[in-house]
Amino acid sequence: MNEKDTFDLENDSETSRLQSKNLVKKVTVAAILTAVGVILSYLNPFAYFTLFGTKINPFAHVINAISGVLIGITFGVITALGIAIIRFSVGIGTIHAFHGGISGVIVVGIFALILRKIKPKYTILASLFEPIGTVFIGGTIGFLIAPIGPSIEGLFIYWGLFAASCIPGAFIGFLMLLILKAAGITWEDFF
């Protein structure tokens, strides 16, 4: 074994160790954000209200904005799915938590991925794109699942309901990411 082969083995070992460490961080943060999302859904009855079968809950979208930027698409979707399953199964969420949360975090994760490659210092701005996924994708799926009337007005009602929930949530999530950045926690810690 020559010197170059030894260096390559050491480099591969270091890369593998870093990937394993980042995976543990992502799993841990996903679990913490799932727990926080469920707790905020339950312990803040003043923070949501039900209208046309949807719960207007900005705190769910805060978690989407944070997880999509910090831990990426895959773990963000796992977090949103975990929150939706728990909320729905214990009766503090509706079926709309599934498609609303998951579509929102996917869009945030995609924009975060793009910004990480193009302009890494602006990656946290991806959190502000959460309403695109939640309103237009999640709201449309909501209308298809449980239509409010047979016309386009019902779709607009869903878009309005989802927007009332996710726009404040995305903005709060962006502010939380700024606070985390000031504390020294950024997406770079997980990738």
Domains of the chain, first to last: 3-189 (1.10.1760.20)
pLDDT number for residue 4: 54
- 3-state class (DSSP) for residue 76: helix
pLDDT tens, position by position, 123-135: 999 999 999 999 9
pTM comes to 0.86
Residue with the two structure tokens 């210092």: 121
- Tell whether the model's pLDDT for residue 6 goes beyond 70: no
Average pLDDT for 27-37: 95
Q: What is the largest CA-CA distance in the chain?
A: 73
Q: Among residues 43, 88, 40, 87, which one has the least CA distance to residue 63?
A: 40
Q: Among residues 60, 71, 78, 74, which one has the least CA distance to residue 123?
A: 71
Average pLDDT for 110-133: 96
CB burial of 128-151 (b: ≥16 within 10 Å; e: otherwise) equals: bbbbbbbbebbbbbbbeeeebeee
